[in-house]
Structures are given as C-alpha cells and as structure tokens.
A and B are shown apart, each in its own frame.
Chain A
C-alpha cells in the first residue's frame, strides 16, 4: 500500500474470504470511493477516502477488518 491518491488492496483468495472483503468494504463504504474487481487469484479493492488525508488509514483499517472477519469465519472456505 502506498500514500498515493488511490490505493490498491489485493486480497489473495487463499487467504481472505470474499464475503469478508465484501463486508469490510460495505462497512467503510460511506467513507470511501472504491472499485471492486475479481481476479483469478485475488480480490482487488481500489479505494480512495472522501477525505484524501485519511486514505492510507482507511485502507489499513479495511484490510484489518477483512482479515478479522476471515479469521472468525475460519478461513476463506469454512
């Protein structure tokens, strides 16, 4: 992740549950603009916070949230 205007998060399918990533995006939806893409190996989330100075922080929080939900689900394929 970088401090650029937009941030690309790449959630590997063998490590993150797709539902967890979706739920995390929905959780932060009102704070960000984002694009979701599905790739063969990963879920891609491209995001930018509505307040640009918070983009990096929101991206980190979203990734943490997605990981927490994935762990609670028991992994990508419970």
Chain B
C-alpha cells in the first residue's frame, strides 16, 4: 500500500511499507538522466535502486531497503538523502555543460603544449596550400581581393 509523506508535495514520493520501498517521481525536464544515474550510482551499495519510466518526461526511482525491512522514518531519510544527491548531481552536470568549451580548450592547449614546438623539418614539409575550410561568403578574403579593381578582360577598350 502506498502512503504519501505529509511533508513532501503530493504525488512526488510514496512509501510502500510492505515492500520496504519508497518511490520518487522525477521530472526529466528538471533533472537530466545523467544526474539521475549519478545519484542512483551513489546509492547502489546502500539499497536496491530501480528506474522506470511510467510516462514520457518522468522517471520513477524506486529505492528498496536491503534486508526487506525498514520503517517509514528510515525510508523517509533514504529518499531525502537521494533527493539531495540528485540535486547535487544535477548542479554538477549543469556546471560541466557550462564549462565544456573551456575544459576542451584548456585540454587541447595542454596536449598541444606537451607535444612541443614543431621542428624546422615539420614546417618545411607542412602543406600550407591545404584549405582548412570553405569560404563561400569570402569572409577570409582580403579587402583588395574582394573589392579591388578587377583586371579588364582582354579585348575590351577603355572609354
């Protein structure tokens, strides 16, 4: 039988005393799946964790006490700690996303620096004619190339 906790908004958490389990519904728009994974992984050695998706956009996390016995207070503490861990993981995930470009740039520079400066042989054999990117709008062209006087076609008479 599922009984909600009075101090938690209705519909989010329910305890099943007979199964020594507590269920929590997680909004996938608020908590990314990687955050749910991170929190669940932390709790794998403390309890049994099961994930389900009862409807799109929601994940149901079920925590079951090891040994099959736990009172309502212990289950309340368990789901409370899980919720805290979930929030922490979601925040860390957000920080990682925000700093991804910075991390990749720093890592790239560190790796490039560790490789050392190119030797004269490397520079001599480097193919500078290789076009690294397409430039259909002519952004990389110089002002003279783009707007300078164009040579007259042969045979045209000047006015």
Contact = CB atoms under 8 A, between A and B. Distances in A.
Interface of A: 1, 10, 12, 14-16, 56-57, 60-61, 63-64, 67-68, 70-71, 75
B7 to A, nearest CB: 27
B53 A64 contact: no
Nearest to A70: B37
A68 B44 contact: yes
Contacts, number: 41
Given A60-B64, A75-B33, A75-B34, A67 B52 contact: no
Interface of A is mostly: helix
A18 B40 CA distance: 18
B48 A63 contact: yes
Given A15-B33, A67-B49, A75-B34, 13 more contacts: A1-B50, A15-B51, A15-B59, A56-B68, A60-B48, A60-B50, A60-B64, A61-B48, A64-B48, A67-B40, A68-B41, A71-B37, A75-B33
Nearest to B56: A14
Contact of B53 (A14, A57, A61, A71): A14
